[in-house]
Amino acid sequence: MEIARTKAEIRRLVGVAKKAGQTVGFVATLGALHGGHMSLIERARKETDFVVVSIFLNPTQFGPDEDLDEYPRQEEKDLALCEKAGVDVVFAPSVEQMYPSGHCTVVKIEGLSEKLCGANRPGFFAGVSTVVAKLFNIVEPDIAYFGQKDAQQGLIIKRMVEELDMPIEIRMCQTVREEEGLAMSSRNAYLDAKQRKQANCLYQALQEGKKLIEGGQVDRDKVTAAMERVITQAGPCSIDYVAAVDSQSLEPATAENRSWLLALAVRIGRSRLIDNIVVEIPGPS
Amino acid sequence: MEIARTKAEIRRLVGVAKKAGQTVGFVATLGALHGGHMSLIERARKETDFVVVSIFLNPTQFGPDEDLDEYPRQEEKDLALCEKAGVDVVFAPSVEQMYPSGHCTVVKIEGLSEKLCGANRPGFFAGVSTVVAKLFNIVEPDIAYFGQKDAQQGLIIKRMVEELDMPIEIRMCQTVREEEGLAMSSRNAYLDAKQRKQANCLYQALQEGKKLIEGGQVDRDKVTAAMERVITQAGPCSIDYVAAVDSQSLEPATAENRSWLLALAVRIGRSRLIDNIVVEIPGPS
């Protein structure tokens, strides 16, 4: 496995692979790799010839009061995990390498970026879409893999690729969960044992919402109220949002929608945790 | 010469050229080709193997009260000019081909986009940078050519390419002028004979500013005041701006700047005309 620290180096390595006719798969990460990332890498390994993983803790997607400073950093461990998973190249640039000068170019997906997490984290998705655009232009992958846990991020990146005509295919991969349902996340590391147990309420709330919808409940407020009850009963926390939205537009779900996204963001201790599921509603027969 | 109407078709044609090891040169236009465009095409023809010209009257870079409807359209003539100039492919997509759905992705170069023309034409440069990002991703040229007449546009596109890490080189080409100095522009077509003569004042004002600076004048307000006098004395018009700015940052020029951009936008009749020159000031010896 090679480690590229500069744009020139990763371009050279990918160039060689492409020249040899290999397809390039790409997984973009902030580092602190967990089972979710590994499942993306495994899929890229299966479906493409040359697998690139980026490890870049992108400062522009953290707000001034957010957890950039305490976000887990474990490069040595991450590199070992990539090596073991058969990654061909890790691209691990410095902040200076990615943002050499005052950065004034922004790629923004208006509308989609302001909803759900975007409402609580202004500027977050512009930071994400801009750095992903840069990474796509540097790595030039054929296929890029993202996790369904970050459903809104996935929709935004798909829209960006489509509307900017980037010659890249985006594949979304299932959320990987701990045994009791907690979605894997680098931010789970901030939880102590008790909070970790409490955090299972996110998944339980999603299951409660799913059960109600599948039982015929199409009033989104009733669905989200029931989900909120599951969360607040589990212990002290602060709910950023609990939402039932159309899974494509992220507009509030209505009885007409056939595909609902149940999504939530909850702060437990120092962790802001997110999770979601898509519930398909069979059409009238 | 081939004419591609769809993204798939232009990608196929460029793909064949690239596979054969050819370098791809690109000139993006709104159509209504004139000598300025032709000079870009000639340079691309000289410097690259495979020349692509896009003809796309991009609606998103026109404001609601601007001249999209009356902008000259002359596709047949444009195609003949391209053919004669040895263009390999013209990419002439429909608006539906370029913007199939509600378009919510915007590429914006903050700061640079609000100055000069951006102050008078809000949204203009976001429309330009977004469509150029799309065209770059569709055509994937090695080198793209732009005219110095649109100096601010050139700076913005260079910055976009640099900051989004697009693997493309931007080359700026000298402004092409009529005999008496008027910069060639598709919008010159709106001028009647008298206005056309009056419009020479833009170039005369730039020359006046240059003369003052070369004579030692470093007070930008005195320089622009003298330029404005040249314009207002030439006949009835409305000045959008006459500016003396640093040629890279577009910030107001000071005695410390070694490279001044003199730039102006003037409305004569129905035409909004722009022009500029760069004046290099020798450093202290």
Chain B 14-53, CB below 8 Å of chain A: which residues? Answer: none
Residues B248 and B225: beta-carbon distance below 8 Å: no
Write out pLDDT tens, residues A83-133: 999 999 999 999 999 999 778 999 999 999 999 999 999 999 999 999 999
Mutation target for A interface from B142, B163, B166, B168: give the one with most A CBs within 10 A. Answer: B163
In Å, how far are A126, A145, B113, B261, B283 from B118, measured between CA atoms? 21, 37, 5, 16, 31
Judging contacts by C-beta atoms under 8 Å, the chain B residues touching residue A129 are 105
The domain made up of B2-173 has a fold known as Rossmann fold (3.40.50)
Comparing alpha-carbon positions, the chain A residue that sits nearest to B103 is: A163
Check: CB of residue B34 under 8 Å from CB of residue B121. no
Segment B177-203 mean pLDDT: 97
Measured between beta carbons, which residues in chain B are less than 8 angstroms from residue A103? Answer: 163
Q: Residue A285: what pLDDT? A: 56
Residues of A in contact with B140 (CB under 8 A): 167
CB contact under 8 A, B106 and A111: no
Residue B282 pLDDT: 78
Dihedral sign, CA of A204, A208, A210, A211?
Answer: positive
ipTM (interface pTM): 0.95
Q: How confident is the model at residue B285 (pLDDT cuts 50, 70, 90)?
A: low
Tell whether the model's pLDDT for residue A284 goes beyond 80. no
Residue in A118, A274, A260, A167 with CA at minimum distance from that of residue B104 = A118
Q: Do A105 and B105 touch (CB under 8 A)?
A: no
Per-residue pLDDT tens for B74-110? 999 999 999 999 999 999 999 999 999 778 999 999 9
- In this prediction, residues A161-166 reach a mean pLDDT of 98
| Radius of gyration over every alpha carbon of chain A, rounded to an integer in angstroms | 19
pLDDT digits (tens, 9 = 90+) for B1-45: 999 999 999 999 999 999 999 999 999 999 999 999 999 999 999
Chain A contact set for B129 (CB, 8 A): 105
Per-residue pLDDT, B284: 67
Measured in angstroms, the CA of A272 and the nearest CA of chain B are apart by 27
B111 contact residues in A (CB cutoff 8 A): 104
Give CA–CA dist B104/B93, Å, rounded. Answer: 19
* Any A CB within 8 A of B131 CB: no
Q: Provide the pLDDT for residue A217.
A: 95
Contacts with B, A 87-106, CB within 8 Å:
101, 103-106
The pLDDT, as a whole number, for residue B166 is 98
Structural tokens at position A122: 């202004």
Per-residue pLDDT tens over the stretch A192-230: 999 999 999 999 999 999 999 999 999 999 999 999 999
Hey, are the CB atoms on A165 and B109 less than 8 Å from each other?
Answer: no
B280: nearest Cα among B264, B260, B256, B250:
B260
A88 phi and psi, to 5 degrees? -85, -45
CA nearest A168 in B: which residue? B137
Q: Are A167 and B11 in contact (CB under 8 A)?
A: yes
Closest residue of chain B to A164, computed from CA coordinates: B134
In the predicted model, is pLDDT for residue A135 greater than 90?
yes
Domain A186-280 superfamily per CATH: Pantoate-beta-alanine ligase, C-terminal domain (3.30.1300.10)
Active site members of A: 37
pLDDT tens, B100-150? Answer: 977 899 999 999 999 999 999 999 999 999 999 999 999 999 999 999 999
How distant is the Cα of B113 from the closest Cα of chain A, in angstroms?
Answer: 10
Q: Do domains A2-173 and A186-280 have the same CATH topology?
A: no
Q: Does B108 contact A106 at a Cβ distance shorter than 8 Å?
A: yes
Taking the alpha carbons at both ends of chain A, their separation in whole angstroms is 53
pLDDT tens per residue across span A27-84? 999 999 999 999 999 999 999 999 999 999 999 999 999 999 999 999 999 999 999 9
Band of pLDDT at residue B168, cut at 50, 70 and 90: very high
Token pair for A83: 């090596």
**Residues in Cβ contact with A239 at an 8 Å cutoff, skipping those fewer than 6 apart:** A228, A231, A232, A264, A265, A266, A267
Domain layout of chain A by residue ranges: 2-173, 186-280
Q: Is the dihedral of CA A226, A227, A230, A231 positive or negative?
A: negative
Helix (H) or strand (E) holding B175: none
Q: Using H for helix, E for strand and C for coil, what is the string for chain A?
A: CEEECCHHHHHHHHHHHHHCCCCEEEEEECCCCCHHHHHHHHHHHHHCCEEEEEECCCHHHCCCCCCCCCCCCCHHHHHHHHHHCCCCEEECCCHHHHCCCCCCEEEEECCHHHCCHHHHCCCHHHHHHHHHHHHHHHHCCCEEEEEHHHHHHHHHHHHHHHHCCCCCEEEEECCCECCCCCECCHHHHHCCHHHHHHCHHHHHHHHHHHHHHHCCCCCHHHHHHHHHHHHHHHCCCEEEEEEEEECCCCCECCCCCCEEEEEEEEEECCEEEEEEEEEECCCCC
Radius of gyration of chain B (CA): 19
Q: Indicate yes or no: CB of B105 within 8 angstroms of CB of A108.
A: yes
Please report which confidence band the pLDDT of residue B226 belongs to, taking 50, 70 and 90 as the band edges.
Answer: very high
